[in-house]
Chain A
Amino acid sequence: MTDTREMAETGLRRSRTWKATASSGAALLVLVTVHMIAHHFVVEEVGGLRTYAQVLDYISNPIMFAIEILFLVVVTTHAMLGLRSVLFDFGLSTRAKRLVARGLLALGIVTVAYGVTLIGVLAAKA
């Protein structure tokens, strides 16, 4: 009975993780498209990359600032969920899976914190 319950709970967690991965992936289809077009396909310079002044000008726009923060949060969430799936493919024990999940949560938080700080500092320079 305990095994059955444990298996059922594992199934529920997998289902929730799958839904979170699919939802963040769907949001990314839009956000990546906006990000790529805004950064690489509307700028006239070689390679479509913005100059230093253009980057600061872009990030100082409150709408673009909010979109970039949202993009960072969603892409990091999706990346950590994906890494979790890949690492779980190694057939880890329950304890190791828990450690991996906590480690990835910490890595995701650090990544978002660094990214938000970076964007904030650049916006303040504008």
Chain B
Amino acid sequence: MTQPGDDLEDIRAAREARGPVLRKSPGPTAWFDIRRTRTGHWAFSLNRLSSLGLVAYLYLHLAVLSLLLGGENSWHSFLKLATTPLFLGFDVLLIFGLLFHGLNGLRVALVGSGVAADRQKALFWSLMIFGAILLLGATLHIAGSG
């Protein structure tokens, strides 16, 4: 039985297709290399860091939602803690992470697909300005509810 990828023609076609630049990985220590000042480097590093933060949040979120299994009192105790100014501040940090990771990821996907590949810096800053406006709106909404 032929396995996907067995055909060298398929492999060659896939390599020539639009997509990520295949290069040797720089390694995590390079994420914090302050000698690199290019926007793309910092966008990549912050994307990696935000991804780790969001994965940690995914499991924290599942743990918090498990409190619902304990009944109404258990959930009410969490709500009292979650509506303190410190936790509302964490909400803003979470929204920053989601917006940065999502919008930068959108840029990476568009550029990798060949869309605006020669204008990626302009695309990055346009999306970041859009994200900053959304973050401001979300922060005002959260602050207004607290």
Interface residues on A, range: 35 or more
Of A12, A28, A79, the residue contacting B102 (CB under 8 A) is A28
A22 & B62 in contact (Cβ 8 Å cutoff): no
A46 & B55 in contact (Cβ 8 Å cutoff): no
A91 & B27 in contact (Cβ 8 Å cutoff): yes
Of A29, A32, A118, the residue contacting B62 (CB under 8 A) is A118
Question: How many angstroms from the CA of A79 to the CA of B59 in the assembled complex?
Answer: 11
- Judge if A61 is at the interface, Cβ distance under 8 Å: no
On chain B, the number of residues with a Cβ less than 8 Å from chain A's Cβ atoms is 51
Main secondary structure of the interface of B (DSSP, over half): helix
B48 & A86 in contact (Cβ 8 Å cutoff): yes
A47 & B146 in contact (Cβ 8 Å cutoff): yes
Question: How many angstroms from the CA of A86 to the CA of B66 in the assembled complex?
Answer: 28
- Judge if B118 is at the interface, Cβ distance under 8 Å: no
A79 & B55 in contact (Cβ 8 Å cutoff): yes
Of A14, A29, A75, A89, the residue contacting B28 (CB under 8 A) is A89
Find residues 10-41 in chain B having any chain A CB closer than 8 Å to their own CB.
10-12, 14-15, 17, 19-20, 22, 25-28
Question: How many angstroms from the CA of A36 to the CA of B99 in the assembled complex?
Answer: 12
A47 & B55 in contact (Cβ 8 Å cutoff): no
Known: A22-B109, A90-B28. A52 touches B71 (CB 8 A): yes
A19 & B79 in contact (Cβ 8 Å cutoff): no
Nearest A-chain residue to B6, judged by Cβ: A9
Query: What residues of chain B lie closer than 8 Å to A16, measured between beta carbons?
Result: 14
A76 & B58 in contact (Cβ 8 Å cutoff): yes
